[in-house]
Amino acid sequence: MTDQEPRTSLDPRYSSPDAAPTPWPRAAGQLAAAEVYWLSTVRPDGRPHVTPLIGVWRDGALHFATGAEERKALNLATNPQVVLTTGSNTWAEGQDVVVEGEGVRVTDDARLRELAGAWEEKYGPVWHFDVREDGAFQAKHGPAFVFAVTPRTAFGFDKGESFSQTRRQFE
């Protein structure tokens, strides 16, 4: 996981003439501040699956949790490629961020304890997690696997007086 500066480009086809690429720290700030994200995974038969969830941005990756038997966990077991999105559901203001990457399971106890604290700090005590000995969070209905998505490609869509589409490629 890294907070590296990506290779950035502005797509003039989808940007206002006066637009400039959105700086990565602004997009990373949006990822950190968002309360809800949309996760897209692929079912074993190739059909897409999209669901809202909560998560935390830490050390250059977006982290989310899912029950071991939930559809997204089952999808990730066969295809780790994901798309995470967050932003504003208005067309003329705000910023939308789309992150493409691979969902990698986090099992290290120390890292899970740190992330459990981050969840509670961000969302309050209703999202308190204990860390199990088997590398998962203890959720209400059993184990919850934690995944990290480090951006491979990230898009930023700025809306307002000036519209822009920024593409970021990470090495």
List of residues 6+ apart from 132 with CB closer than 8 A: 138, 143
Digit-coded pLDDT (tens) for 64-116: 999 999 999 999 999 999 999 999 989 899 999 999 999 999 999 999 999 99
Digit-coded pLDDT (tens) for 137-165: 998 888 999 999 999 999 999 999 899 99
pLDDT of residue 3: 56
**Alpha carbons 49 and 80: distance in angstroms, whole number:** 13
pLDDT at 120 over 60: yes
List of residues 6+ apart from 45 with CB closer than 8 A: none
Digit-coded pLDDT (tens) for 22-78: 899 999 999 999 999 999 999 999 999 999 999 999 999 999 999 999 999 999 999
Domains and CATH numbers, the chain: 7-169 (2.30.110.10)
pLDDT of residue 171: 81
The answer to pTM > 0.75 is: yes
pLDDT at 1 over 90: no
